[in-house]
A and B are shown apart, each in its own frame.
Chain A
Amino acid sequence: MLAHIDYIMTVVLFGVGLYGLVIKTNLIKKLIGLNIMETSVYLFFIAMGDVRFGTSTAQWAKAPFIHNPAHAARGLEPMVNPIPTALILTAIVVSVCVTALALSIAVVIYKRYGTLDTRKLSNLKG
């Protein structure tokens, strides 16, 4: 069980993030919940992409080589596939973008209404 601690933490973090996104009423807390949830997905993928841990996926976790007899003769060690890391970096950049945009909108909302609580905001707008 403890060998799969990465995947268990993914589920726990996803749950925590979802709780924050849905239940909390402060705009910033919702945003932090979203970030935690996104982080859990990244953790899942990076954990899966590692040659040591991904047992059922070990065949693809090694980067596929171009068939080159000279390299094969020297018996190179498997490398970790670069695709998961590249995809997760892209996703992290997207997440930063969304966070920046959401924070700037939250700043304008706070300046205009003086509150960040969604219950009070829906009462104020009428």
Chain B
Amino acid sequence: MYSGSHLQVLIPIFLVGIACLIPLVNRIKPGLSQTIALMAVTVSLIAATSLFMRILNTPGGYLDYFVGFSWNGDTFLSTGQPIGIVQRGDIFGGIMLMLVNGIGLLVTIYSGKYIPHEIDKNKISNYYTMLLLMLAGMSGITMTGDCFNFYVFLEVATISSYVLVAIPSDGRSLEASYKYMLIGALGSILVVFGIVLLFSATGTLNMAYAATQIEKIMTAPAGSSLAELKQLIYASVGLFTIGFGIKSAFFPTHAWLADAHPAAPSSISALLSGLVVKTTGIFLLVRFLFSVFNIHKYPYGQTLHIIFLVVATITTIAGSLFAIAQTDLKRMLAYSTISQMGYILIGIGFLTPLGLSAGILQMFNHAISKSLLFLSAGAIIWKTGIRDIRKLTRVGHKMPLTMTCFTIGACSLVGIPPLNGFMSKWALAEASMDSGVMFMVAVLMLSSLLNAIYYFRVVGIAFFGASDDSESVTEPTGKSEIPFTMALPLVILSVATLYFGIKVGMMEHLISRAVHLLWL
């Protein structure tokens, strides 16, 4: 019964507890917020690593943790469903948990020197509170096995991200946060509607038990009482798809991302583009569609197959086309996020194990690369105050380390070997040839070309742009260009980009184990 580790619930609880502690400590002795946040996220990362190692060594591949698991000595009800809420941590969730905590730690280190430049001094403790809450919510989402649980953590993560987008408090971020909030709440309420229909058809909120109930419903003979519930299942699948689609910014509903991600502080943009849009959007979409609804087994999978491929193609191409037209650096990166999320959906939309693992690999690699890009864009803004691409001439000579890291991230997303972006695009192309949809290979190549256009434009202007001022353009200054705590995450992420590109075999092995579990 109880095979899980306490860490599955302790990580979110611990982060929430420390997040509530920060305003209290700030009232007594201000200035300690960053230290507390740093210690909390470090502890959380160590805990997440130990939990992930334990998940990897479990023979079944997942750990079930029953919260409140027995009543009068019974763990299961007479119907077979567990009494308590089940936290199920499998390998897919473990990968995302490591990603959330790892990139969260790097962003917390980076925020130390970056944040005082961007927001008011007396809002810094609020910033760290919301940052810890967002990390707690996302860590909780990755470990859920129950619909109730995931909804609570989903809302914790998204509401803290609404606050974080609004923290700079200038007109643009307020309006972007309001728009983000309205559209995000629309997505959430559609997800609630989906949970409602799922519960009314299966009678349980537990994901694993709901999967067995759905199997009974979908294989019931026509005309029986169970077969009438099929329509509820169809409606539930549709609502979940649209709800999570809004949260991951697919084509018709991508408008909020282009405003919210540039308006946030750069460290938060890195977290939003790299993690939130994935954990709250695509991770949950995969979790529901493959673990609960089993779309690879039932006929509604075929409809979703076509819809996903069409939406993903449009998202990828349209995102890149919009990005080419941008002049603001962070807005360009935000449209690039929309385009890369299209890649993940292409991988998922094939409904084959190869496609799903290519999609998850792209999710992992994009999280690392996009965080790297946003953090280095933030470093450029911190040092020079320039956000306009056309004015970034010769920045590569003033800030060589930052621009090198930016170039590594850009090359990874364009798809240059041996960086990790190339590996995931290769996996996607392999998956598309394996499932016979040759058209996708052309879409992938076209999109790589479009990515190259707008990324290499920035790199070209930064390194080779014609300079009009002649003051100290080529000689390096004595002191370092950006503080060590800001340079360290950039270097670590660049090394990670290279590492996960060369050691892609390890990631593919891990992901194939995760997909095997999801495919059951």
Contact = CB atoms under 8 A, between A and B. Distances in A.
B166 A105 contact: yes
Contacts, number: 109
Given A87-B148, A91-B192, A98 B175 contact: no
Interface string B144-169: 00001001100100010011001001
Given A27-B178, A101-B181, A102-B181, A41 B189 contact: yes
Contacts of B81: 64
Contact of B77 (A41, A64, A102, A124): A64
B193 interface: yes
A contact residues, range: 35 or more
Given A48-B200, A87-B199, 19 more contacts: A27-B178, A31-B182, A34-B185, A45-B199, A60-B200, A60-B204, A64-B79, A66-B83, A67-B74, A67-B77, A83-B205, A87-B151, A91-B151, A94-B155, A97-B155, A98-B162, A98-B181, A101-B163, A124-B171
Contact of B189 (A38, A57, A113, A121): A38
Interface residues of B, number: 42
A59 B199 CA distance: 12
B177 A105 contact: yes
Interface in A16-47: 21, 27, 30-31, 34, 37-38, 41, 44-45
Given A21-B186, A34-B186, A66-B72, A60 B178 contact: no
A125 B193 contact: no
B172 interface: yes
Interface string B198-212: 011011110000000
B162 A101 contact: yes
Given A87-B205, A125-B172, A105 B79 contact: no
Contacts of B204: 60
Interface of B: 71-72, 74, 77-79, 81, 83, 148, 151-152, 155, 159, 162-163, 166, 169, 171-172, 174-175, 177-178, 181-182, 185-186, 188-189, 192-193, 195-196, 199-200, 202-205, 225, 228-229
Given A91-B151, A105-B166, A98 B229 contact: no
A65 to B, nearest CB: 7
A48 B155 CA distance: 24
Please classify the interface of chain B as helix (H, G, I), strand (E, B), loop, or mixed, using the class held by over half of its residues. Answer: helix
Contacts of A27: 178
B348 to A, nearest CB: 26
A66 B205 contact: no
B159 A60 contact: no
A20 to B, nearest CB: 11
B259 to A, nearest CB: 11
Given A56-B229, A83-B199, A83-B205, A106 B171 contact: no
A54 B171 CA distance: 48
A98 to B, nearest CB: 5
Nearest to B171: A125
A87 B166 contact: no
Interface string A68-96: 10000000000000011011001100110
A43 to B, nearest CB: 11
19 contacts: A27-B178, A34-B186, A37-B189, A44-B196, A48-B196, A54-B200, A56-B229, A57-B200, A66-B83, A87-B148, A87-B192, A87-B195, A87-B199, A87-B205, A98-B159, A102-B181, A105-B166, A124-B171, A125-B172
Interface string A98-123: 10011001101100110000000100
Contacts of A31: 182
A44 B193 contact: yes
A59 B203 contact: yes
A37 B169 CA distance: 28
Q: Which of B148, B178, B195, B225 has the most CB of A within 10 A?
A: B178
B182 A41 contact: no
Of A65, A84, A98, which is in contact with the most chain B CB atoms at under 10 Å from its CB? A98
A30 B182 contact: yes
Contacts of B79: 64
Nearest to B204: A60
B192 A41 contact: yes
A65 B81 CA distance: 11
Given A38-B185, A41-B196, A94-B188, A101 B172 contact: no
Contacts of B171: 109, 112-113, 124-125
Contacts of B155: 94, 97
A21 to B, nearest CB: 6
Nearest to B195: A87
A34 B182 contact: yes
Nearest to B183: A21
7 nearest interchain CB pairs?
Answer: A60-B203, A67-B78, A45-B196, A94-B155, A38-B189, A57-B200, A64-B77
B203 to A, nearest CB: 3
A106 B229 CA distance: 43
Contacts of A37: 186, 189
A69 to B, nearest CB: 11
A83 B204 CA distance: 9
A103 to B, nearest CB: 10
Residue in B81, B151, B192, B205 with the greatest tally of chain A CB atoms within 10 Å = B192
A43 B177 CA distance: 28
Given A41-B189, A48-B200, A83-B199, A64 B178 contact: no
